[in-house]
Amino acid sequence: MDNNSFSLTALGAAFMRGYHARHDDPKIFHDPLAYGLLTEKERFLIARHWLNRLQSADAEGAKMCPDEASALRRALQIWTGASVVLSRARYAEEALREGIGRGIRQYVILGAGMDTFAFRCPEAMEKVEVFEVDHPATQTFKRNRIAELGWKIPSGLHFVPLDFTESSLGEMKSHSPYNPAGLTFFSWLGVTYYLSRKTVLDTLAAVARISPPESMVVFDYLGPRVASSRIAAKRLKAIGDSLRDLGEPLKTGFDPAALGADLARSGLRLVEDLAPSDIQRRYFDGRTDGYRASEHIRFALAAVK
Ligand SMILES: C[S@@+](CC[C@H](N)C(=O)[O-])C[C@H]1O[C@@H](n2cnc3c(N)ncnc32)[C@H](O)[C@@H]1O
């Protein structure tokens, strides 16, 4: 991301959650507010982006679609971007709810984008303070949009503008009512791949520094390339090209075999690392539409030591 422009992928992720809420059943993750954060023009432009991508990367598939609506459905379902966006949100919020049962009272959403948790889950907001930490440009865009829509900001929602590449997450202590002594749940969805390895590990180390033991963090990450599948490699290339065009190129992945040791050096204990096959089993098996786990993305859950 460059310094002045907001994240287009954040809008893309909101589009995917909104599309799914409106058009698909059963739900992988239900976000009925997501579409509302996008204007009609933005929805139109994002749909066009996906239709163009389908045309250039899967012209045969595009030809088989009788109309634009089914072409859009094909684009969202056969490429795994939407599957990743939906299943990682489900995974994070399932772990969060479990954590709230164990006494978590703060929820820090790192790289929050157009996340709607604070507006969508009023009953959970009675139990947790929510901190949305995001790049200043994206956060300004979102706050302006919320103001235009006239959405009331819940009293327990706090905004913390912060660029992970320029400032340490530790600074949020002095810019918000965040309590470093309180048991905290962090989610970091759809962000690690856009940062350098050093920034990811420094930020995870800051999570461990500013929260007490048994605080939790969930993040998704780019795992190893799947050399065995040409289709998977082609899909990853198409997604990589699309993200580069949007100004948010993929930068960093992690080796699952070394992740536990990487996290340990950052003060975290790896609790769970879901491989694509685990994600498939948990969230996609039995679906009859085209949604399925990405071959490349894994979900990690770690605890502060
Ligand atoms: C793909 S979006 C994901 C948004 C949201 N977590 C979701 O799952 O829909 C990437 C998010 O990371 C944020 N981001 C990217 N680079 C960042 C940086 N250097 N500092 C802070 N936030 C950053 C963007 O502003 C954006 O909100």
- The neighbour count for residue 50, using CB atoms within 10 Å, is 23
**Pocket flag, ligand 1, residue 115 (CB < 6 Å):** yes
The residue whose C-alpha atom lies closest to atom 15 belonging to ligand 1 is 191
Q: How far is the CA of 139 from the centre of ligand 1 (A)?
A: 10
**Which ligand 1 atom lies nearest to the CA of residue 110?**
6
| Residue pLDDT, tens place only, 167-187 | 999 999 999 999 999 999 999
What is the pLDDT at residue 1?
A: 66
| Residue pLDDT, tens place only, 233-291 | 777 777 788 788 888 888 899 999 999 999 999 999 999 999 999 999 999 999 999 89
Contact 295, 78 (CB under 8 A): no
Q: How far is the CA of 113 from the centre of ligand 1 (A)?
A: 6
Which segment of 40-49, 124-133, 230-239, 245-254 scores lowest on mean pLDDT? Answer: 230-239
Bridge partners (DSSP) of residue 184 are 106
**Pocket flag, ligand 1, residue 164 (CB < 6 Å):** yes
What is the pLDDT at residue 58?
A: 82
Q: How far apart are the first and last CA of the chain?
A: 32
297-304 and 184-188 strand pairing? unpaired
- Domains of the chain with bracketed CATH: 88-304 (3.40.50.150)
Which segment of 52-61, 68-77, 153-162, 212-221 scores lowest on mean pLDDT? Answer: 52-61
Q: Which residues contact 230 (CB under 8 A, 6 or more apart)?
A: none
Q: Is the pLDDT of residue 227 over 70?
A: no
**Pocket flag, ligand 1, residue 33 (CB < 6 Å):** no
Mean pLDDT of the chain: 94
CA 136/CA 175 separation, integer angstroms: 13
* Residue 55 banded pLDDT, cuts 50, 70, 90: confident
Q: Which of 241, 228, 237 is nearest to 276 (CA)?
A: 228
CA 169/CA 247 separation, integer angstroms: 23
